[in-house]
Structure 1
Amino acid sequence: MRKFMSVFGLVFLLSGCAAEGWYHSWEDERLERCQYAKSSAERRECELEATKSYQEYKREREQALKATENQT
């Protein structure tokens, strides 16, 4: 049982690291999409959003989820 809990804990910790890794791996694709913006102002806004830190993204996501939960 103890071994199972240790493995489960390790997998749980690694899944958090994996999520951040996935977020950063998609940054180039998000930036590429910004090239199709209609104006330079839209492009700048898109680039700022695309290069947002994972911590900022995660905080905003959690706030949005809480807001959604409060609506129901």
Structure 2
Amino acid sequence: MDLFNTFVDYREHKEIRLTYVTDATILIVMREISAGVYAQKYDYQFILGMSVLMLTLGTIRALAVKYPHKT
């Protein structure tokens, strides 16, 4: 759904909103972590790396909401 919103927004406004991209990326990372943990495929280093990525993406999303782009 977030990817669809990204494409629609780009088509209408010729720009991509950062919140849509970060939301979609966060969902993909969460899906990968949960699938890997369930299958017992990943070690703690991979999960730790993905957690740092999630923290970074969450911070970027929070800052994008707090300080919106003005056109």
TM-score if structure 1 supplies the norm length?
Answer: 0.41
Greater Cα radius of gyration, structure 1 or 2 = 1
